[in-house]
Each structure stands twice: as structure tokens, then as C-alpha cells.
Amino acid sequence: MAIAVLTLLLTRNLFSVIVLSGIYSFLMATILVALDAVDVAMTEASVGAGISTVLLLGALSLCKSEEATPAHKPWLPLAVSLSVGALLVYGALGLPGFNDTAAPMHQNVVPRYMQNEVDVPNVVTAVLASFRGYDTLGETTVVFTAGAGLIALLRRRKKIEPVESGRKDDA
Amino acid sequence: MKNDLVLRVIGKLLIPFILLFALYVQFHGDFGPGGGFQAGVIIAAGIIFYALIHGVATTRRIVPDCLVETMLASGVLIYAGVGLAGLLFGGNYLDYFVLDPNPVLGQHRGIFWVEVGVATTVSGVMLKIYYMFASRSGSED
């Protein structure tokens, strides 16, 4: 995984960058499986490695395949991302250990979720669709809004180029 | 890529199983890993796979734009409709316990329709995004 990230940083060919980020997503999915988060792993593999790779390749066919050399040196962004990363690592050190049943997050609502009054064997589904139904409704609305926004943005572009839109509608 | 025999044969073999697997992930989400979001993405992936092989124009004939846009909106409506059904049966919004005389069955029914809604919206959005990109580049077919 580290190799994939390092190669990602150094490569300037966008095609290999996209393929490498797909590989990275698949490795991430295997890590999530190892952490017993199978639902998230499935999402990561299908969205991160599958759909977004295809979409990025589609975007790549609209532009040049070599990354342009940046106009200025990236020292400030580098410093910002390094310090934020260091902060996150520092914060993560304060978290309770993995599989620690005495951790505060397992004390409040989790026992009730685990009693499983919904009687659905997969607790993740029960939490997402039933206990946290409002959240998931919000998420679905977000996905819908993203799609609607994209339609609004790209449709308008089509009208500016009437020749192309006519040809595409025929096809 | 229309004339690539290997791709066409493999696609013909794989796509039914991809769609079947999506349905499995969708309806087995209560028992194993999976659920509406993953199933929606897998459905979209199967259709995008078809589009990569046979071109976007052919795919648009099978899965037309109006269907995709209807899916986009109807998924959210199904989800919100489950909430309203809870209100109609005398419970709170998104309260599944009242959907069936047996509260546990009511929960199962609610979760089932909610997941159907999520899958519909997600696969609609993914397909729409792909169509948008592909029809702008024009080099996919």
C-alpha cells in the first residue's frame, strides 16, 4: 500500500495515477475486511476501485494524459497537509484501543443496538436503515442532490454547443 | 471496443452474474454484508461494463435517460414514502414497528423498502454521472 501511494506521488502520467488509485482502494478494502468492517470494505471496493476509476478514466479522455508541471512550489500545501496529518495521528493515539469493550463509544447506545429488537442479523443494516433511518434518508437525499446538480451543470453546457447536442440526441 | 470478441463473450457471461450478485447483496443485506448502497453501485457497475463494451449509444437504448432520471428521484420518494406510511399507520415518521401487526416483521418490511429506495437512487445517480461523462467525451463508442 505504501508502495502504491509513493508511486502515486511520483508518477506524472495520469492514466497510471488512476490505475494506482484503484489498486490503493482495493488494498484499503482488504484492510477493512481485516478490521471486520465488511460492509465498508464492499463499498470501498465497488465505489473506490470500481466506479470512481471508470469515472476518472472518462474524465481523463476529456483532457491531456500528462500532469502539467505546477506553476509554483508546493511547500505551503505540503506543510499544511503534514501538520494536519500529524495532528490526526496525535489525536488517534488518544483513542481507546481496537476491540476495547470498555471504550466509551460502546457504553451508550451500542448495547441497545446489540439487543437487536429489530431482529436483523446484520447489525450494520439494522443501524443504518432502522435506528439511524433519518441519517440514511439524509444520505440518500445527498446522493440525489449530487445527481440533480450534475444534471443541471452538464445539461447547460450541452445547450451552448447545439451542434454536438443534436448529434448526441440522435445517437 | 465493439469488435473485441473476448470482451464481448466475457461481458455476456459476466453481466448476468453481476446483476444477480447485486440482487443478492440487496436482498441478503439483512443477513450478510451489503445493502442498498452497495447493490446500487454494483447494478450501475454491471451496466457501465456493458456500456464500455458496446458503447454508450447502445446502452442508452436499453437503459434510457428518462428511466435513469426517474430512478434518481423515485428512490428518494420510496424512502420518504416508507416514512409517510409509518405516519399513516399511526406511528412516527420512519417508524417501522407499525407497518405490520407483528413489530419485528414491520421492521423487516420497513428496512426492505428503505434499502430498495437507496439502491434505486444510487444506481440511478451512478449511471447518470457515467452517461454525462461518456456523452461529453464522445470517444467511448
pLDDT surpassing 50 at residue B29: yes
Q: CA-CA distance, A8 to A18, in Å (whole number)?
A: 9
Contact B33 A154 (CB under 8 A): no
Contact B41 A119 (CB under 8 A): no
Size of the A and B interface in Cβ pairs below 8 Å: 143
B39, B29 Cβ separation under 8 angstroms: yes
Contact B107 A168 (CB under 8 A): no
Task: State residue B93's pLDDT score.
Answer: 82
Estimate the crossing angle of helix B36-54 against helix B5-27, to 10 degrees. 170
Name the closest residue on chain B to residue A121, using Cα atoms.
B31
User: Which of B98, B122, B139 to mutate to probe the A interface, most A CBs <10 Å?
Assistant: B122
Q: Given the C-alpha cell 497537509, which residue does it identify?
A: A81
Which three three-digit cell numbers place residue A103? Answer: 471504550
DSSP A44: I
Contact B35 A140 (CB under 8 A): no
- pLDDT tens string B115-129: 899 999 999 999 988
C-alpha distances in Å from residue A158, one per residue of A79, A108, A149, B132? 41, 52, 15, 10
Q: Which helix H or strand E contains B4, and what residues bound it?
A: none
Q: CA-CA distance, B3 to B6, in Å (whole number)?
A: 9
Closest CA to B37 of B20, B25, B24, B50: B25
Task: State residue A156's pLDDT score.
Answer: 58
User: Which of B1, B2, B15, B30 to mutate to probe the A interface, most A CBs <10 Å?
Assistant: B30
List, in order, residues 6 or more apart from A48 with CB less than 8 Å away. Answer: A22, A25, A28, A29
- pLDDT tens string A140-168: 999 999 889 888 887 755 555 554 444 44
ipTM: 0.82
